[in-house]
Chain A
Amino acid sequence: DADVTQTPRNRITKTGKRIMLECSQTKGHDRMYWYRQDPGLGLRLIYYSFDVKDINKGEISDGYSVSRQAQAKFSLSLESAIPNQTALYFCATRGGAGETQYFGPGTRLLVL
């Protein structure tokens, strides 16, 4: 089984809709992250969390919110989706020897 899972893997939604992307991990790491990836712009950090009570904005948090329901779960919400939020979204965890970061499989989101 994968250590970091994301649901859904693909999502098509309409402008103005609220959607939630979910991430779960079995690695036991405290640190979790949400990134988006756009062609030519690389990976950009949206939000990150060092534990259930510690949530921080990344470089592009506007239009997004997060919830850390438990050590193993970190959800990303788009309150009112807009077309320029169309992107590939990755959840990641970090921990263990060397503080390695591990990525989930990604969610491909299309906002019409």
Chain B
Amino acid sequence: QKEVEQNSGPLSVPEGAIASLNCTYSDRVSQSFFWYRQYSGKSPELIMSIYSNGDKEDGRFTAQLNKASQYVSLLIRDSQPSDSATYLCAVNRGNTGKLIFGQGTTLQVKP
């Protein structure tokens, strides 16, 4: 079992729809969770971080965390073609100072 798992996709949604990206993790002691966006050939860019159970909203993005289910998700409302990218879920491994990344989900937003 991978430490951080994501469906590789591609996830295809029409412009204006809600895109839902999911991530599960195996380390129960993880406390910090991050979503990065990566355009092809570019470096990952932080979108959201979340540390507590529940929802955290930032503009069109909402991160959701459920530690009991070891599940973190990212919702993108009013999806735009410019949101088309690979989204990486990252989980802090215990107290090691290391982030473990999922393989990423490719999102395609069609006009």
Contact = CB atoms under 8 A, between A and B. Distances in A.
Interface of A: 31, 33, 40-43, 45, 48, 50, 58, 88, 90, 94, 98-106, 108
A40 B43 contact: no
A90 B51 contact: no
Interface of B: 32, 34, 41-46, 49, 51, 88, 90, 92, 97-99, 101-104
Given A98-B49, A100-B49, A104-B43, A41 B34 contact: no
Given A98-B49, A100-B49, A42 B34 contact: no
Nearest 4 CB-CB pairings of A with B: A42-B103, A103-B43, A43-B101, A103-B44
B103 A41 contact: yes
B88 A42 contact: yes
**Most central of A43, A90, A100, A108 by chain B CB within 10 Å:** A43
A99 B102 contact: no
A98 B58 CA distance: 16
Given A98-B49, A99-B32, A106-B43, 16 more contacts: A33-B98, A42-B88, A42-B104, A94-B97, A98-B32, A98-B51, A99-B92, A99-B97, A100-B34, A100-B46, A100-B49, A101-B34, A101-B46, A103-B44, A105-B42, A106-B42
A63 B84 CA distance: 35
Contacts of B46: 100-102
A101 B35 CA distance: 11
A94 B44 CA distance: 13
A42 B104 CA distance: 7
5 contacts: A42-B101, A42-B103, A58-B98, A98-B49, A108-B41
Contacts of A99: 32, 92, 97
A44 to B, nearest CB: 8
Contacts of B44: 43, 90, 103
Contacts of A104: 43
